[in-house]
Structure 1
Amino acid sequence: MTNMSKTIIFFGTDSFSVSALISLIEAGYEIGAVITKPDSRSGRGQKLVAPLVKQVAIYHGIPVWQPAKLSEVLDQIKAFGDVIGVLSSFGKIIPQAIIDAFHPGIINIHPSLLPLYRGPSPIETAILNGDTETGVSIMKLTAEMDAGPVYAQEIYELDGTETAPELYETLSALGGRMLIETLPSIIEGNLLPSPQQNDAVYCYLLKKENALLNPAEMTAVQAERQVRAYIQFPKTKLAYKDGTVIVTKAHIVTDDTHEDFTVAFKDGSSLTIDELIAPSGKTMSGQAFTNGINSTLSEQAY
């Protein structure tokens, strides 16, 4: 069997998945189906929105399955016979019965250097921790989360200015390239995975309650990293006067110069808020926001 004659079932949901799917399509692989989450409601109008990989699959004429439970499509998977799975940012635990339906298994693209940052938020966690490098692991999926043996890894150097969306895009493209480079050898049995070395480090699901900055308990460095890591979700919020703003850009101030909208943190350094979303929902500079606040206070004084 040549590597191109093997049918692939693709598991994915969000934007990180798209590069891998497009890479497979452009490389000429046969995609038997794309499995993704059901459409979800989004925005103020709560309109149903299809996952990005569904949109890509439909454009390329690939069948899309959106089961409420994966067990619902087990028979459909088995009907393909000898089939391999590829998974990228799917967002659901894969049952063992589904894993067993594939040969040599399901190949997973994970955006960290496993066993570092097993779990759902490796990109945000790398930024939060101030890591100097991250990367992508091509691994064989197991029922235990991100614990499977690894086929290949590639390091990506960080410079400390990356936002989560930027790093998602970079590692997504890297994962797509690595998949195409390794998949033929995996299918042919020439590349075997190796068990993960060292102790696992886990990252966790991000929640809205993680969003609020606490200057009394955080350093300015920690706060600036959070702004970059949480810019999409759960965002970074700061209580200011009688309201709460969402901080979208900020930089650290280490001297006594207080410019524009500056907040002091516990280590004696400060964070200047360069851009924010005001309680009104309008995006503006920190200076424009404080100018507006001061102008309102001046008017109230008369």
Structure 2
Amino acid sequence: MKVIFMGTPDFAVGTLEAIVAAGHEVVLAVTQPDKPKGRGKSMQYPPVKEAAIAYGIEVYQPERVRRLECIEYLAKYQPDIIVVAAFGQILPKEILEMPKYGCINVHASLLPKYRGAAPIQWAVINGEKASGVTIMRMDEGLDTGDMIASVAVELDAQETGGSLFDKLQDAGARLCVETMKSIEDGTAVYTPQDNEIATHTKMIQKSLGKINWSLSAVQIERLIRGLNPWPSAYTYLSGKTLKIWKATVHPGNTDAAPGTVVKADKQSLVIQTGVDRLSLEEVQLEGKKRMPVADFLRGFTIENGTVLGTKQQ
């Protein structure tokens, strides 16, 4: 089929690659504008743009796809289908109705659960046992279109946002190509979503990573995994930001207040939470490299009774 592909981050690249490998003709890749990044604020290409250039696919980067000039630009390509994967903008009716086979979306959750932004991270943070990918026919709502195909993926006990991202990227790429074939040969089945059981996720902000030690150790440990690698969970130690990359739940409580260091020796750093304790396994102090907690403790002395979480200390 003649395809317009719309996507922006790494998650979308695998799907683009799979579509090309399956022999479809990707006539245009639509992605978000380049953005400044790093200390030098140099302009950086979105991952989909980099992949499209490598394949020799034309790239289009509109600021707003709803604008008339964008709609007219896409119409020139007369696509059979538009495939969307983490594009980052809502498509107007004119684009949704443009292709012969409509627009399909590769969504990283088992719809109707986890509509909206960041379904991958929230699945880990909320302690889901399974997540997955749904291919849906897009409509004017936010992830409300008819479902065409889905695949479930189990979460490992140590699953992070990053590792689940990789699993769902691969699963979504394969499922998208399979679904495109069923759409083209007329065997696709379109199933309406049950809006009564739909849930919505909010965007991930850096501030979400600030640990509230009054939560349970289980909740905090999930937060740490869900926000790994971005934006990461963090607290404050001696006035400096301390990122926590890995931790283990230790059942049982002490009399100490949440956020208090209840064990600090050469090998371990254990914190009292609202329920149970949390043993920090991998940390990164502001200005330092990420390291195992034993390495960190060799260069930084922490006393029992130290309270984490206050920036001004």
2:258: which partner in 1? none
CA RMSD of superposed structures (Å): 1.8
Deviation at 1:289, TM superposition (A): 2.6
Determine helix, strand or coil for the equivalent of 1:41. strand
- Identity within the alignment, %: 32
In terms of fraction of residues, the more helix-rich structure is 1
Structure 1 gap ranges (5+): 1-5, 297-302
Distance in 2, matches of 1:222 and 1:163, equals 14
2:207: which partner in 1? 209
Q: Does 1:19 align with 2:17?
A: no
TM-score, normalised with respect to structure 1: 0.91
Q: Does 1:93 align with 2:94?
A: no
Letter in 2 for 1:114: L
2:274: which partner in 1? 266
1:55: which partner in 2? 50
**How does 1:78-89 map onto structure 2 within 5 Å?**
78-89=75-86
The answer (yes or no) to whether the contact 1:139–1:150 under 8 Å persists in 2 is yes
**Bigger CA drift: 16-25 or 70-79?**
70-79
1:226: which partner in 2? 223
The answer (yes or no) to whether the contact 1:11–1:85 under 8 Å persists in 2 is yes
Deviation at 1:295, TM superposition (A): 8.3
Distance in 2, matches of 1:179 and 1:103, equals 17
The answer (yes or no) to whether the contact 2:105–2:135 under 8 Å persists in 1 is yes
Deviation at 1:255, TM superposition (A): 5.3
The answer (yes or no) to whether the contact 1:41–1:49 under 8 Å persists in 2 is yes
Displacement over 3 Å in runs of 4+: 255-259
User: How many residues are aligned here?
Assistant: 289
Letter in 1 for 2:12: S
Q: Deviations over 1:243-268 (max 9, x none)?
A: 2201111111225894612111011x
Please, which of 280, 287, 290 is the counterpart of residue 283 of structure 1? 290
Deviation at 1:223, TM superposition (A): 0.7
1:252: which partner in 2? 249
Letter in 2 for 1:225: R
**Cα 1:295–1:273, aligned 2, differ >3 Å: closer, same or farther?**
closer
Distance in 1, matches of 2:191 and 2:286, equals 51
Structure 2 gap ranges (5+): 254-261, 304-313
Deviation at 1:204, TM superposition (A): 0.5
Letter in 1 for 2:287: S
Determine helix, strand or coil for the equivalent of 2:188. coil
**Bigger CA drift: 272-281 or 115-124?**
272-281
Deviation at 1:30, TM superposition (A): 0.3
The answer (yes or no) to whether the contact 1:278–1:284 under 8 Å persists in 2 is no
Q: Deviations over 1:124-171 (max 9, x none)?
A: 111011111111101011111000000011111123211111111110
Determine helix, strand or coil for the equivalent of 2:300. helix
Letter in 2 for 1:222: Q
**How does 1:159-170 map onto structure 2 within 5 Å?**
159-170=156-167
Letter in 2 for 1:107: I
**Bigger CA drift: 94-103 or 115-124?**
94-103
Please, which of 29, 33, 47 is the counterpart of residue 24 of structure 2? 29
Deviation at 1:291, TM superposition (A): 3.5
1:64: which partner in 2? 59
Q: Does 1:240 align with 2:240?
A: no
Determine helix, strand or coil for the equivalent of 1:145. coil
Letter in 1 for 2:281: D
Please, which of 3, 9, 27 is the counterpart of residue 8 of structure 1? 3
Letter in 1 for 2:23: G
Letter in 2 for 1:236: A
**Cα 1:223–1:295, aligned 2, differ >3 Å: closer, same or farther?**
closer
Q: Deviations over 1:84-114 (max 9, x none)?
A: 1000111111122221212221110001110
